[in-house]
Amino acid sequence: MIAVSDLLKQAKLAKEAARKLAYLSTDVKNKALSNMAYALKKEMGSILSANERDMKNAKEKGITGALLDRLRLDERRIDEMAQGLLEIAALADPVGEVVSMWVRPNGLEVGKVRVPLGVIGIIYEARPNVTVDAAGLCLKAGNAVLLRGGSEAINSNIAIARVIAKAAEDVGVPSGVISIVEDTSRETVSEMLKLRDYIDVLIPRGGAGLIKAVVENATVPVIETGVGNCHIYVDEYADLDKACKILINAKCQRPGVCNAAETLLVHKSIAEEFLPKVLKELKTNKVEIRGCEKTVSIADWVKEAYENDYETEFLDLIIAVKVVESLDEAVEHIHRYGTKHSECIVTESYTNARKFLKQVDAAAVYVNASTRFTDGNQFGFGAEIGISTQKLHARGPMGLKELTSTKYVIYGDGHIRN
């Protein structure tokens, strides 16, 4: 007899739990979210202790900078995670929402209603907050969730998942709705990608390598998220003070996240005036700058940029800079190198703003605002499950509605088809 793996047992339990959760009342789900928030604060000490072990191991492996920052937990971040759960509880429950309803000429009533997706598998890297965000959103949208975090955060993820799963079950949520995959081996991931009978959709959150591996190897449907090679284009009609402020925020506020800017494009007519100022500001913020030939001619201390710099999601205090001839060249550059995540134009020209919005293909396209706003919380969705960069079903920050599907409900009165 072939032994049943622990992952398969978890997936089967999640599938059974998802059927019960699908018709659980909004009141019970909200009580669960509130109890999960309370439990996070109550068990903060044990969670921080687990995170300390992860931080120590990460440092010993040579992990530094923005990646280490992603992994780090403190009291403030745990408070934010708990607050995020309370915000999800305050949102409208999408399950059962009537999207539309109409009556056919024969009197048949046809309706379209929101329903949960079922079991959602989340594969993510060293960000323990994802454990809470994913669990909270999936639960409110009526989905069971199978969480497979990276090895760097395994102690943190296990501690968090156990705390919130117990808190949810204590108020009536079925066992198995929230579960953590404790085996972080590649073999377990490979198995998870094939569990089509038990997992309804996979959502990878992490770097390009992770997402590519999941998309290419999964038989379970996948929603692509996350890779963010984001651009700030400073137009010839830009307010330069505004442009500097936006760029510094987009690059420096939190460089290790997918909505941080990775490339600065500058129109040639304002390059001589704008670049010395903004490059100095970037340098003050400890950003390594890699520039095109024109950029280097304006600031000879800047490193020369190569082709791969414009292709790279640095996730660090590094930025590529290019001077462009026109708005058209900026759009073409974004089309060639962008990942359809978040793109921004800084301009006071209504015409150029409209052209940029129309021609740039991305999940979020900005005029005069930092790309750092591409976030479920900032868009008013509460927490998010990720930023979808594909076009099927969901695009951009994925909140509660994006974690549902629909079904048709039909009311008749003895109707038969002729």
Which helix (H) or strand (E) element contains residue 365? Answer: strand 364-367
Rounded Cα distance between 343 and 8, Å, is 40
Looking at residue 395, what is its pLDDT?
92
Pairing status of strand 387-388 against strand 396-397: antiparallel
Cβ atoms of residues 263 and 322 within 8 Å: yes
Q: Classify residue 272 as left (phi > 0), alpha (psi -120 to 50) or beta.
A: alpha
Name the nearest CA neighbour of 372 among 267, 264, 259. 259
Q: Which residues contact 141 (CB under 8 A, 6 or more apart)?
A: 94, 95, 116, 117, 400, 401, 403, 404
SS3 of the chain: helix, strand, coil, percent, to 5: 45, 20, 35
The number of C-alpha atoms within 13 Å of 205 and in the hemisphere containing its C-beta is 27
What's the predicted TM-score (pTM) here? Answer: 0.86
Rounded Cα distance between 247 and 227, Å, is 19
Q: Which domains does the chain have, with CATH numbers?
A: 6-225+385-411 (3.40.605.10), 230-373 (3.40.309.10)
Backbone angles phi, psi at 145, to 5 degrees: -135, 135
* Distances, alpha carbon 291 to alpha carbons 152, 257, 278, 281, in Å: 33, 22, 13, 15
Which helix (H) or strand (E) element contains residue 232? Answer: strand 230-234
Counting DSSP H helices and E strands in the chain, the numbers are: 15, 16
Name the nearest CA neighbour of 30 among 122, 141, 181, 117. 141
> What number of other Cβ atoms are within 10 A of residue 410's Cβ?
10
Q: Taking all residues of the chain, what is their mean pLDDT, rounded to a whole number?
A: 94
Q: pLDDT at residue 101 above 70?
A: yes
Backbone angles phi, psi at 109, to 5 degrees: -95, 125
pLDDT digits over 239-256, tens only?
Answer: 999 999 999 999 999 998
Question: Which residue, chain included where needed, has tokens 């190198």?
Answer: 337
| Edge-to-edge strands, sheet with 404-411 | 98-103, 109-116, 404-411
Rounded Cα distance between 341 and 245, Å, is 21
Mean pLDDT of 69-93: 94
DSSP secondary-structure letter at 41?
H
Residue type, 47: I
Length of the chain: 418
Looking at residue 376, what is its pLDDT?
84
With both helix axes pointing from N to C terminus, report the angle between 240-252 and 268-284 in degrees, rounded to the nearest 10: 40
Rounded Cα distance between 66 and 71, Å, is 9
Percent of the chain with pLDDT over 70: 99
Q: pLDDT at residue 115 above 50?
A: yes
pLDDT digits over 247-284, tens only?
Answer: 999 999 999 889 999 999 999 999 999 999 999 999 99
Looking at residue 2, what is its pLDDT?
43
Rounded Cα distance between 391 and 40, Å, is 35
Cβ atoms of residues 302 and 296 within 8 Å: yes
Looking at residue 70, what is its pLDDT?
85
> What number of other Cβ atoms are within 10 A of residue 104's Cβ?
11
pLDDT digits over 371-387, tens only?
Answer: 999 998 899 877 788 89
